[in-house]
Amino acid sequence: DSFIESFNERNHESEFSLPNYLIVLLRQLQKAIIGLIWITDFRDGRSIESSFIGTIKKLQQCSMWPVTSLQRACPIGSSTPNKEKNAVTTYKDGALVDYIIRNIIAYIKQRVSAMCYILRPRTRNPRDISERVMMVYCTMLCHRIEICFCRHPDQLMMCALYLVCKKMGYVQSVTFNDLQIAYEEMTKDFLLPQTMYAMFHRIMIRPGTDGFGDIISLYNEIFVPAMSDLWFEVAKAQVPAAMLTF
């Protein structure tokens, strides 16, 4: 959106502006990039240090995690990064990651709202579900960022949505099959069938050649163990005001 706004602002006095179809394509491309930067395969010889994941690990080592946007959006308190220890290059890395994280939060917020809208005949309060899912998601990014590595943000979004629906009782008898149907409805215009299949049935569970599983395995083996000790704090926390601004 910043590119689109900048382009239109520079050309506001002329008759030329980006056509709507190109704006739609650019936003779809942005969403695709946001998802792809997390799914990294290092078996081809690439170094993890030069990846987005490697940059996050560097920020953790330099006590610069969580980044500013997560400090504001996370409902559970987090330590403040120690900026005195950081080199200039690390500070630049932090600014880049913070920009990407802000876009991820905004992107997932749109996704969650769309999923809740599709599921609305079975929900009692879609807005409450959406807010609580975002609280879970931001807590995961802030305190359990490692489970995001090598997985698509949408996969973890669906785990967060399923957790909230089951724990809070907002949706009766919801299953991952229900979420898959809703997700397919939401993305039917721009995701290929093979991509849709991989989203639910080819997910990195454990490192290794045979370390893949489905969305249920991801939820039971990775997501729940990582988030169970944080759930009760999230459940009783207030919605951060900053989260509503994304």
State both tokens at 187: 């993305």
Distances (CA, A) of 1 to 9, 21, 52, 96, 189: 12, 14, 21, 16, 20
pLDDT, residue 186, reads: 93
- Give the closest residue to 182 by CA, choosing from 133, 141, 122: 122
How many residues comprise the chain? 246
Q: How many CB atoms lie within 10 A of CB 91?
A: 14
Q: What percentage of the chain exceeds 90 in pLDDT?
A: 41
Nearest Cα to Cα of residue 53 among 69, 32, 67, 39? 39
pLDDT digits (tens, 9 = 90+) for 126-136: 888 899 999 99
* Helix runs in 74-223, H state only: 88-118, 126-143, 153-168, 176-187, 193-201, 215-217
User: Which carries the bigger pLDDT value, residue 236 or residue 219?
Assistant: 219
pLDDT tens digits along 74-126: 998 766 665 555 555 577 888 889 989 998 999 999 999 999 888 876 666 78
Count of CB atoms situated within 10 Å of the CB of 222: 22
Check pLDDT > 80 for residue 23.
Answer: no
Residues contacting residue 56 through CB under 8 Å, at least 6 positions apart: 65, 97, 145
Phi-psi region of 173 (alpha: psi -120 to 50; beta: other; left: phi over 0): left
pLDDT at 42 over 60: no
pLDDT bracket for residue 222 (50, 70, 90): very high
Mean pLDDT, the chain, rounded, equals: 82
